[in-house]
Chains A and B, each alone.
Chain A
Amino acid sequence: GQSLEQPSEVTAVEGAIVQINCTYQTSGFYGLSWYQQHDGGAPTFLSYNALDGLEETGRFSSFLSRSDSYGYLLLQELQMKDSASYFCASRTYTGGFKTIFGAGTRLFVKA
């Protein structure tokens, strides 16, 4: 089967750093993506890790360890606008590429 586990909720203060973890069990695994979704909006792509290590994009970084079936999203210098849901998603291949989403982590940023 395919499953991704991530915390349901995280709270942090403005300016802080927060890490959202994700563990996965998927067959045909190619890589791990992260998406952001604001209330009432559509998921938008943040990052993708195909190889082990850290990928940095501005204030956001994402990490993958394939041997541990684990990844995380790191958000630095938190801003109020970062309050949203964050989804890890596995990119898999079973006859075609598809993306399976975790349940999402709701991030609350407080002033």
Chain B
Amino acid sequence: DAGVIQSPRHEVTEMGQEVTLRCKPISGHNSLFWYRQTMMRGLELLIYFNNNVPIDDSGMPEDRFSAKMPNASFSTLKIQPSEPRDSAVYFCASSARGQGADTEAFFGQGTRLTVV
């Protein structure tokens, strides 16, 4: 398996534009997480899905952020309109349901978003 795949790796956009980040989780994993990482706030959990259903979106900063998981192999995180303070590295991670060794979360390489 190629691991968690995120695209794009880098995104530079102007304030006010819509940004869509994409994620393909590892096949067979039924939990998917979107995290945001900044120097100031560290790794923040934005939203997570279990079996394609959003379970907890309390970490989503505001209504400008939305996430979807239309099927088990694809998820998007959308920011509309984007603002400079949204600049961060956005990670997608997936894991298999369980309480033993398969609790590991596998991270994608991240999307570095810069809003100017």
The reply on B116 being an interface residue by CB < 8 A is: no
Give which listed residue, A43, A50, A97, A103, contacts B91 with CB less than 8 A.
A43
B55→A44 contact, CB < 8 A: no
CA distance A87 to B42 in the complex (A): 10
B103→A91 contact, CB < 8 A: yes
With a CB–CB cut-off of 8 A, which chain B residues contact A103?
42
B55→A95 contact, CB < 8 A: yes
Give which listed residue, B105, B108, B110, contacts A99 with CB less than 8 A.
B105
Interface 0/1 of B69-98, CB less than 8 Å to A? 000000000000000000000010101011
Q: How many A-B residue pairs have CB under 8 A?
A: 68
With a CB–CB cut-off of 8 A, which chain A residues contact B108?
42
With a CB–CB cut-off of 8 A, which chain B residues contact A83?
none
Q: How far is the CB of A62 from chain B (nearest CB, A)?
A: 13
Q: Is the interface of A mostly helix, strand, loop or mixed?
A: strand
A50→B48 contact, CB < 8 A: no
The reply on B18 being an interface residue by CB < 8 A is: no
Q: Please name the 5 residue pairs, one residue from A and one from B, whose CB atoms are nearest each other, closest first.
A: A96-B50, A96-B55, A42-B107, A101-B43, A45-B104
Q: Which residues of B contact A (CB under 8 A)?
A: 31, 33, 35, 42-43, 45, 48, 50, 55-56, 91, 93, 95, 97-101, 103-110
Q: List 24 A-B contacts (CB under 8 A).
A: A30-B99, A30-B103, A31-B99, A31-B103, A33-B103, A41-B109, A42-B108, A43-B43, A50-B103, A87-B43, A91-B103, A94-B55, A94-B56, A95-B55, A97-B50, A97-B95, A98-B56, A99-B45, A99-B95, A101-B35, A101-B42, A102-B42, A103-B42, A104-B42
Q: Which residues of A contact B (CB under 8 A)?
A: 30-31, 33, 41-45, 48, 50, 87, 91, 94-104
